[in-house]
Amino acid sequence: MSRTGSGRMGIAQGTETGSSLLLAAGVLIGALVLVLAAGFLMLRQRRAELDRREERLTSELHRLHQHEDELAARAADSERVRAELAGQGVQNRLLLERTAGLTADQAREEIVRAAESEARREAALTVREIERRAVDEGEGRAREIIAASIQRLAAEHTTETVVTTLRLPSEDMKGRVIGREGRNIRAFEAVTGVNLIVDDTPGLVQLSCFDPVRRESARLTLEALLVDGRIHPARIEETHERSRAEVGRLCVRAGEDALLTVGIGASGEMSPELVRTLGTLRYRTSYGQNVLGHLVESAHLAGMMAAELGVDPETVRRAALLHDIGKALSHRVPGSHAAIGAEFARRHGEAEEVVHAIAAHHGEIEAKTVEAVLTQAADACSAGRPGARKESVEAYVRRLERLEEIALAHDGVTKVYAMQAGREVRVMVQPEAVDDVRAQEIAREVARQVREELTYPGQIRITVVRESRATEVAR
């Protein structure tokens, strides 16, 4: 019983296990079927989506082809219209040329000339406005600086000529000066290079020479001979050698005194040859103004103006003191005294700023430094102040006549007056023929011609007057 029961129970358990396995396999197969169904469904959806995208791309490609065709058609239309316009432009140009009687090149030249004229007018107006503003802003400051500098410096001006007069102790000395058969006077002139003029003027003889240093040596020689009383050729030569040495010492002393007066001796050494040459200018005059005195005065003015402007005054004073150094050499070396002086200063070790200021002080080259501009200004102030210089009446009259001729040569000018001793020129113009812009141009052109053609101290003001008047009579 027990074995039978146990076998039945084992069969029953085996049956139950097989049923469980079958059930599990069925569930697994069902799940696989469901997964496969879901995947198939997703593939169908993806395929449908891809089909839709393909249709959209095909439609978009079709539209692009259509748009490309439209653009090609429009380009063809544009090219046709461009060709038509080009042909129409040629026809219009030919029509304009026949109507105006001008070719295209001639019309272009007319337009260019009109534009150039308009540009010139605009430029003249702009220049006038800039000059007006510059004058308004700078004139007051410039006047203050120059006026303050001039007021702080007071200088005396003496007139010297190329003739020196000596008074004799007695009328009998004339015979001794002339010597037997004129041998003393001939020896004197041969040794000194100075003309000795003995005429009927009682108690006086004259020494005439263009070189002031030689004339001063001759004066000292003759004074020593008159004091000694022994006048003969050998004594003349001996005395002249001593006089030349004395004049050389006086020149060196004058140069050193000028350096100390200006204040350059303490600030920088100067070549002994420059100092000696500078001292020789104490015997030279320019339009009646002593050149060394003019240089010292210019140095003071330049230094004061430099200090007012905040510029280092040392170089400016040095340049102003040496700007006319070439006048001591101009009778021996060809060329303008500005160029000669600049080269002389360069050879003796002066700085390039000083050399440039010397070369540019008369405008022969463009002033490119502040030192050069201040040297020009100081030179003009010293030379142009009333009473500083004088000139012959003949040269003065010729200069005034030439001033009026230069201004009268311009179209539209009716009258010209040289006023204030030639310091100002008043130019009267016809108001209907000259407008304000042209009046400014006339003033500029006259000033340029005056600078280029005439030599004058100081400056000359050109004033163009354009006056309109309206007159009616009440009856």
CA-CA distances (angstroms) from residue 237 to 78, 160, 169, 224, 379? 107, 27, 22, 12, 40
Q: Are 164 and 215 in contact (CB under 8 A)?
A: yes
Q: Which has more pLDDT, 8 or 20?
A: 20
Query: What's the maximum distance between 2 C-alpha atoms anywhere in the chain?
Result: 203
Cα gap 465→430, rounded to integer Å: 9
Q: Return the pLDDT at 445.
A: 92
Cα gap 226→204, rounded to integer Å: 12
Both 247 and 295 in a single domain? no
Q: Return the pLDDT at 97.
A: 66
Q: Return the pLDDT at 6.
A: 58
Express each pLDDT in 225-279 by its tens digit.
888 888 888 888 999 999 989 988 988 898 888 888 888 864 457 888 989 988 8
CA-CA distances (angstroms) from residue 197 to 10, 173, 188, 472? 178, 14, 11, 71
How does DSSP assign 88-157, residue by residue?
HHHHHHHHHHHHHT--HHHHHHHHHHHHHHHHHHHHHHHHHHHHHHHHHHHHHHHHHHHHHHHHT-----
User: Is pLDDT above 80 for 300?
Assistant: yes
Of the three residues 254, 280, 296, the one that is the final residue of a domain is 254
Q: Return the pLDDT at 443.
A: 92
Both 229 and 281 in a single domain? no
Number of domains in the chain: 3
Cα gap 239→231, rounded to integer Å: 10
CA-CA distances (angstroms) from residue 348 to 25, 129, 273, 332? 125, 46, 8, 18
Of the three residues 254, 282, 309, the one that is the final residue of a domain is 254
Express each pLDDT in 184-240 by its tens digit.
888 888 888 888 888 777 888 888 876 778 888 888 999 898 888 888 888 889 999
Q: Return the pLDDT at 444.
A: 92
* Mean of pLDDT over the chain: 81
User: Is pLDDT above 80 for 15?
Assistant: no
Both 169 and 246 in a single domain? yes
The CATH number covering residue 402 comes to 3.30.70.1350
Both 309 and 374 in a single domain? yes
Answer whether residue 291 is part of any domain: yes
Both 267 and 380 in a single domain? yes
Q: Return the pLDDT at 267.
A: 45
Both 250 and 275 in a single domain? no
Q: Are 344 and 188 in contact (CB under 8 A)?
A: no
Cα gap 264→321, rounded to integer Å: 9
Pairing mode, if any, of strands 424-429 and 413-419? antiparallel
Domain that holds residue 200: 161-254
Answer whether residue 83 is part of any domain: no
Q: What are phi and psi of 350, to 5 degrees?
A: -75, 155
Both 285 and 207 in a single domain? no
Answer whether residue 167 is part of any domain: yes
Lowest mean pLDDT among 11-25, 273-287, 400-414, 443-457: 11-25
Answer whether residue 400 is part of any domain: yes
What are the structure tokens assigned to 196, written together? 């000795």
Both 282 and 367 in a single domain? yes
Q: Are 309 and 145 in contact (CB under 8 A)?
A: yes
% the chain with pLDDT above 70: 83
Q: Return the pLDDT at 151.
A: 54
Q: Are 290 and 160 in contact (CB under 8 A)?
A: yes
Both 190 and 249 in a single domain? yes
Answer whether residue 28 is part of any domain: no
Helix axes 272-280, 291-309, angle to 10 degrees: 120
pTM over 0.85: no
Q: Are 371 and 314 in contact (CB under 8 A)?
A: no
Answer whether residue 66 is part of any domain: no
The CATH number covering residue 186 comes to 3.30.1370.10
Q: How many C-beta atoms lie closer than 10 Å to residue 276's C-beta? A: 18
Of the three residues 254, 273, 289, the one that is the final residue of a domain is 254
Express each pLDDT in 414-449 by its tens digit.
888 877 667 778 898 998 888 888 889 999 999 999
Q: How many C-beta atoms lie closer than 10 Å to residue 161's C-beta? A: 10
pLDDT category of residue 160 using cuts at 50, 70 and 90: very low
The CATH number covering residue 327 comes to 1.10.3210.10
> What does the chain come to in residues?
475
Return the bridge partners of 59, or none. Answer: none
Cα gap 350→375, rounded to integer Å: 16
Express each pLDDT in 330-372 by its tens digit.
666 777 888 899 999 999 888 899 999 999 988 888 888 888 8
What are the structure tokens assigned to 344, written together? 């002389």
Both 323 and 272 in a single domain? yes
* 298, containing H or E segment: helix 291-309
Express each pLDDT in 35-64 by its tens digit.
888 888 888 888 888 888 888 888 888 888
Q: Which has more pLDDT, 5 or 462?
A: 462
